[in-house]
Chain A
Amino acid sequence: MRDRKIQLNLNGRSVSLVAGDNTTLLHALREYGLTSLKRGCEEGECGACTVIMNGLPEKSCLILVAEAEGADILTVEGLIKDGRLHPIQQSFIDEGAIQCGYCTPGMVMTTYALLLKNPSPDEEEIKEALSGNLCRCTGYLSIVRAVKKSARIMAGLSEGSE
C-alpha cells in the first residue's frame, strides 16, 4: 500500500493528510481526529459517516481519500461558528432528536445538505433526503420535527440578514 499526501479544505482550513491509496475518507478523517464521523456499516447503508463534500452529502465510507483531493469537506465540527451551534444542531437538541447520538452527526450533515439545496422542504422531501440515514433510537419523528424547525429558523435568519 502506497502512502500519498492529500490536500483538503477541511472545515474551512487547508490541511494535508498522509494516507494509503485504499484508505477511505472516513478512516482518514477519523485518523486526523475528526471522530464525529462514525463507522456504522462501512457500506454506505447507515449514513453515520456522512460529510458534506463540495456541497453534497457523501457517505465517507464509500469514498477513497484520493478522490477527495482538493475537495471542500464540512463536518459537524465545522458548523460551529464563534462557539455557537448551527441552527440545525440547536434544533436537534431542542426537538429531542438525539438519543444515543451515534447517528446524530450524520443526520445533521444530511439535513445541512438538504437545506442548502431546498430551504423549505415538505415532509416527503425531508423523508426522501434522510432515508439513507438510519437511527435506531428515536423512531425519526423528532428528527423530522428538528429538520422542519431548522428550516424555519434558517429562513428567518436569512430574511433577517437581508
Chain B
Amino acid sequence: MSDVQIITGNQAAAMAARLCNVQVVAAYPITPQSQLSEILSQYVESGILRAEYVRVESEHSAMTVCISASTVGARVFTATSANGLLYMHEQLHWAAGSRLPIVMCVVNRGVGAPWSIFNDQQDSLSQRDTGWIQIHCRDNQEIIDNVIQAYRIAEQVYAPVMVCYDGFVLSHTMMPVHIPGANLVRSFLPPYKPHTILSPENPKNINPVLLPNPRMSAEGILCDGYMEMRYKLQKAMEDSREVIMKTSREFADAFGRDNGGMLWEYRTDDAEVILSAMGSVAAEAMAAVDQLRAEGIVAGVVGIRVFRPFPKEDVARAFRKAKAIILFEKSISYGYEGGLSSDLKAAFYRTDIHAPIHDYIVGIGGRDVKARELVEAVKSSVEAIRTGTPEKHTSWLNCITE
C-alpha cells in the first residue's frame, strides 16, 4: 500500500527516517538541510516519531551523538550540508572506523569560501575517502527509497552510508513521491543488531590505541593491529557491492521500484555517446539525451548511483560499447579534474574501453544546468572527436573562463 504526495526532497528524507523508525536524531540546521531537521524535530515533539532528538551545538557534536547512540544499539539519523559536513570530517572517519551503521542525508551545497548556499557536490566529494558508502539520488522518490535501503545496507555491512541529494534542486523542489506503507518498510528492514553489545556487566574499552603490529591481549587473545583494522574496513567496503545489489533487487520486488544497483542506465542499448553524472544533473542528462536523439545523435545516460564503493566492474560493462563518453560533474579535485572522471579512467585500465572521455564541470554554486546546455556540450564534443581531436582539457560549462 502506498500513497502519492507532492513533497520536497527534505520532506521525503524526513518521512523516510520516520518510516525507518529511527531512535535517535542529532542534527544541526544548515541551509539547504534545515527543513529536514525542522520536520524531524516536529515529528519527535508531536510524538509521531518515538525518538530522542538531541539538540547539539555543532555538526561535529551531531555526528558524535550519532556515533555514541549507534554504539549502544540505537538506529540513528542525521543530515547536513556543505561546511557542516566538513566540520564533521574527523567524526566521519571515527564513525566508519567504528563500523557503525549511521545513515546521513547530505543535502549537497557549495563549500565556502566564498560563501554559497546553493548547490554543487564539492561537499560530499570532499568526504569520499572517509570510509562511508555514498549513494546519489536523482529525484525525490529516490531520496525516500535510498534512505530505506541505506539502513538495510549499513546494518548488514556495518558501514555508515551517506544519501546525497542536490540542495534546492531536490531539497526544496516539490514533486510527486510514492510514500510506502509503514508495514512494508518494517518487513523490509529488520531491527538493527549492533556488532557489539555494551552493558555494565561486560564493560569494553572502545577503540583503544592500536599498535603497529597485532598483539596479545591480557587474556591471551591475538588482537588486530591498526593496519588489520583498516584492511577490514576496505574489505567491507569492497564486499558491500553485493549487499547493495541484493538490497536494490529486493527493494524492487517489495516496493515495485528499481532505482538501479550501483548505477542506472537510460536509453543505452544502442547508444554511441554516453553521458554520465551523479545526482539531479544525471536526470537533466536524460532530457538532453531525448533532444540529442531527436537531432540524430544516438545518446544514452549512465547515472552513477553509488560513488563509494566505486562500481568498477559495473562501469566497465555499462560503457563497453561507448564511442564517446561525456561527463558532467558538480565538483572538482582542484589541480586535476572531476573525481568521477579520474575514477572512470582508472576503472577502464586494461579494459577494451578506449573511448575519448570529455569532462565538463557544471552547475557550481547553484548555476543552473539546462538540458539544452548539455546538448550543446555533447554536440561540440562529438564534433571535436569526429574531426580528429579526441583529447579535451576539463572544461567549465557556462562559465566565463577568459
Q: Do A and B come from one complex?
A: no
Binding site for A on B (CB under 8 A): none
